[in-house]
């Protein structure tokens, strides 16, 4: 409990310092949140290149918007929402241009050849199984991946997702159904 | 028919969001239908599998690349010590830099922040005179040295005060500030805003200096968002040789596929205005266009430009 309070105070102090123009404080805030931002962007877009662009945009927005952040939500929540908004804009731009997704299973399998050993989850799935799951997620069309990620991994309610996407809840439910159907087909032998 | 309806409810049920009559109907159906119960169990198994998968693998080199791109985009506002970047060498000489970050013109008020850093040897305290203390913010204080007795200390710092500018976007002074911001402001968000403000007066009123700044930003800005915003403005302007060359440059050399796609779309919209010189320029790069990494660019280059007779 004492440690948690100390950490909370520490982030609050960092925020105050960063808003006062202390660069190192901002850098420390960035260090604490960057992996989460990058992971979320990667999960939402399926592309490391796009995740990099989103990462950059997110932290530039955080940097320029720090003075306006009033602490009505946790800093992590604020950064999280910016990441989702930027990712959704990114996906919408891509959708409008009718970009054909280049789905390449090969590189993903190579990447997960040596799964991360530093998280409890990595012990639950073998490298190959984990790779297949990540690949299946990556092959979802952008809207389905967005809805599925926000619902399954980020825990947003379907109504919230619909509001964020600017569409009806029924549409979100359809995306969720299509995504789970697609994932089940691709991973049926693992179930 | 009932099965199909029920199966569409199962993912919503799985996440605990099925309520009301749909929930009651689904529960009743599942009690009676083994097939749908089996389907639901599969969804539960899928849920467990996906949860166990954890985060997608995050390659350190991807994260490093993102940090580097951010540091570059942030420019001089951040020191070289940002996340593992080599520490900037301290200098004994200080430079005077005055940078204006432009404001929105017209009805919306904005702020321009003048940043001053000190130059030369000796004491530059005179530069602080006349600046109201309550409006002054001190940043990036660096200790350059102090004598052995601790009686004197040498500092470098930045004094930042708000500067407010208001006026028409067509005002030459505002135009110069906008062009300057587009080209040299370290903060990508500000460059982006400047690009968007530059489009305000409409295609006929854009200053030539702004136009050149937009073309430069479109082809060379480090931030993809700024490049894209500049491209969106450029495509609203009449085509000339400069903008054609700039669009072609983006198509051939930009690393961002979205930008290459937007640029080839922009070229297509100018198709009816193409001169023989424009067509020749495209023909010269046909091979590169048709071998782009991006399928959309390849398709566009091959089918649309070819059909329109530009290739």
A46 or A102, which is more confident: A46
Q: How far is B83 from chain A (nearest CA, A)?
A: 7
Per-residue pLDDT, B269: 75
pLDDT (tens digit per residue) in A117-144:
334 444 445 677 778 888 898 888 888 9
SS3 B64: helix
Res. B196: pLDDT tops 90: no
Q: Which residue out of A48, A157, A158 would a mutagenesis test of the B interface target, given it has the greatest number of B Cβ atoms within 10 Å?
A: A48
| Cβ contact A97–B296 (<8 Å) | yes
What is the DSSP-derived secondary structure letter of residue B303?
Answer: I
Q: Say which residue, A16 or B293, is predicted with more confidence.
A: A16
pLDDT at B31: 92
pTM of the model: 0.47
Q: Quickly state the pLDDT bin for B309 (edges 50, 70, 90).
A: low
- B140-152 confidence digits (pLDDT tens): 677 666 665 667 7
What's the rounded Cα separation, in Å, for the pair A106 and B189? Answer: 36
Which of A98, A100, A116 shows the shortest C-beta gap to B57?
A116
A-chain residues near B85 (CB < 8 A) = none
Residues B157-186 have a mean pLDDT of 78
The answer, yes or no, to whether residue B126 has pLDDT greater than 50, is yes
Choosing among B46, B68, B141, B194, which should be mutated to test the A contact, i.e. which has the most A CBs within 10 A? B46
Determine the average pLDDT of the residues in B74-101. 36
Going B288 to B292 to B295 to B300, the CA torsion angle's sign is negative
Q: pLDDT tens-digit profile of A168-177?
A: 899 999 999 9
Give the Cα separation of A29 and A32 in Å (integer).
5
Evaluate if residue B189 carries a pLDDT over 80: yes
d(CA B275, CA B201): 28
Residue A170 in contact with partner chain B when CB distance is under 8 A: no
The reply to whether residue A53 touches residue B256, judged by beta carbons under 8 angstroms, is yes
Q: What pLDDT, on the 0 to 100 scale, is given for residue B81? A: 37
Q: Which of A180, A182, A188 to mutate to test the interface with B (most CBs of B within 10 A)?
A: A180
In this structure, whether the domain defined by B172-307 belongs to CATH 3.30.1450.10 is answered with no
- A21, A42, A56 ranked by CB distance to B69: nearest: A56
Beta strand spans in B92-197 (E): 98-100, 112-117, 137-146, 153-163
Q: Among A34-43, A106-115, B264-273, which stretch is predicted with the lowest mean pLDDT? A: A106-115
**CB spacing of A97 vs B50 below 8 angstroms:** no
How many Å apart are CA B231 and CA B220, to the nearest integer? 12
User: Between B74 and B115, where is the model more confident?
Assistant: B74
Task: Tell me chain B's radius of gyration from C-alpha atoms.
Answer: 29
Q: How far is A144 from chain B (nearest CA, A)?
A: 13
**What is the per-residue pLDDT for B103?**
33
Residue in A100, A137, A188 nearest the CB of B295: A100
User: How confident is the prediction for chain A on average, in pLDDT?
Assistant: 78
Residue B20 scores a pLDDT above 60: yes
Closest alpha carbon within chain A to B61: A48
The pLDDT assigned to B213 comes to: 86
Average pLDDT score over residue span B190-208 = 72
Average pLDDT (A89-110) is 54
What does pLDDT average to over chain B? 73
DSSP A41-67: HHHHHS-HHHHHHHHHHHHHHHHHHGG
**Stretch B215-240: mean pLDDT, rounded?**
85
Please state, in angstroms and as integers, the Cα–Cα distance from residue A179 to each residue in A3, A143, B8, B45, following that order: 41, 9, 12, 15
Q: What distance lies between CA B260 and its chain's CA centroid? A: 15
Q: At what angle do helices B34-53 and B2-14 cross, to 10 degrees?
A: 30
Distance from CA of B62 to the nearest CA of A (A): 7
Average pLDDT value for residue range B49-77: 79
Q: Which residues contact B303 (CB under 8 A, 6 or more apart)?
A: none
Residue A95 backbone zone (phi > 0: left; psi -120 to 50: alpha; other: beta):
alpha
d(CA B234, CA B215): 7
Scanning A129-168 for CB atoms below 8 A from B yields 130, 133-134, 137-138, 151-152, 157-158
Sequence-ordered alpha helix ranges (H) in chain A? 2-19, 23-45, 48-65, 75-96, 105-111, 127-138, 142-148, 158-165, 169-186
> Of B131, B129, B126, nearest to B113 (Cα)?
B131
Task: Say yes or no: A184 contacts chain B, CB-CB below 8 A.
Answer: yes
A104 touches chain B (CB under 8 A): no
| Residue keyed to tokens 């009301």 | B20
pLDDT band at residue B298, thresholds of 50, 70 and 90? Answer: confident
Place of tokens 């198509």: B251
- Closest CB to A157 among B17, B56, B69: B17
Q: Is the pLDDT of residue B19 over 80?
A: yes
Domains of chain A: 8-97 (1.10.1740.10), 123-191 (1.10.10.10)
How far, in Å, CA of A191 to CA of B15, rounded?
18
Q: Does ipTM come in above 0.85?
A: no
């Amino acid at each position: 409990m004492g440690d948690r309070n100390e950490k909370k105070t520490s982030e609050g102090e960092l925020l105050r310092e960063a808003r006062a123009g202390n660069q190192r404080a901002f850098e420390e805030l960035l260090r604490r949140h960057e992996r989460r931002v990058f992971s979320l962007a990667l999960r939402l877009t399926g592309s490391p290149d796009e995740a990099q662009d989103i990462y950059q945009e997110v932290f530039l927005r955080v940097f320029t918007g720090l003075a306006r952040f009033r602490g009505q939500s946790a800093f992590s929540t604020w950064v999280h929402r910016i990441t989702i908004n930027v990712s959704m804009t990114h996906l919408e731009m891509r959708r409008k241009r009718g970009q054909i997704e280049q789905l390449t299973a090969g590189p993903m399998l190579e990447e997960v050849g040596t799964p991360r050993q530093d998280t409890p989850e990595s012990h639950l799935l073998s490298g190959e199984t984990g790779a297949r799951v990540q690949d299946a997620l990556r092959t979802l069309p952008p809207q389905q991946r967005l809805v599925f990620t926000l619902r399954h991994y980020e825990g947003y309610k379907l109504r919230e997702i619909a509001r964020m996407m600017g569409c009806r809840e029924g549409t979100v439910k359809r995306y969720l159904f299509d995504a789970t159907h697609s994932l089940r087909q691709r991973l049926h032998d693992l179930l | 028919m009932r099965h199909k309806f029920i199966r569409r409810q199962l993912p919503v049920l799985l996440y605990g969001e099925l309520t009301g009559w749909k929930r009651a109907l689904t529960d009743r159906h599942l009690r009676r239908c083994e097939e749908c119960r089996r389907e639901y169990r599969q969804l539960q198994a899928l849920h467990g599998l996906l949860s166990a998968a954890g985060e997608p693998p995050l390659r350190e080199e991807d994260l490093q690349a993102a940090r580097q791109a951010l540091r570059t985009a942030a420019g001089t506002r951040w020191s070289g010590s940002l996340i593992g970047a080599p520490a900037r060498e301290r200098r004994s000489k200080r430079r005077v830099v005055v940078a204006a970050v432009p404001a929105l013109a017209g009805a919306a008020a904005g702020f321009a922040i003048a940043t001053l850093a000190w130059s030369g040897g000796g004491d530059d305290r005179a530069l602080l005179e006349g600046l109201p203390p309550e409006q002054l913010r001190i940043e990036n204080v660096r200790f350059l040295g102090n004598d052995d007795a601790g009686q004197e200390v040498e500092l470098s710092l930045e004094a930042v005060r708000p500067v407010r500018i208001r006026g028409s976007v067509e005002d030459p002074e505002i135009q110069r500030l906008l062009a300057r911001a587009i080209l040299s402001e370290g903060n990508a968000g500000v460059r982006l805003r400047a690009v968007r403000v530059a489009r305000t007066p409409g295609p006929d009123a854009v200053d030539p200096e702004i136009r050149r700044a937009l073309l430069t930003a479109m082809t060379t800005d480090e931030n993809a968002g700024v490049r894209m915003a500049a491209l969106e403005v450029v495509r609203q302007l009449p085509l000339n040789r400069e903008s054609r060359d700039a669009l072609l440059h983006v198509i051939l050399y930009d690393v961002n596929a979205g930008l290459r796609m937007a640029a080839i779309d922009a070229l297509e919209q100018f198709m009816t205005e193409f001169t023989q010189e424009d067509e020749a320029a495209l023909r010269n790069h046909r091979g590169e266009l048709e071998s782009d990494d991006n399928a959309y660019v390849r398709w566009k280059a091959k089918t649309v430009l070819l059909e329109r007779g530009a290739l």
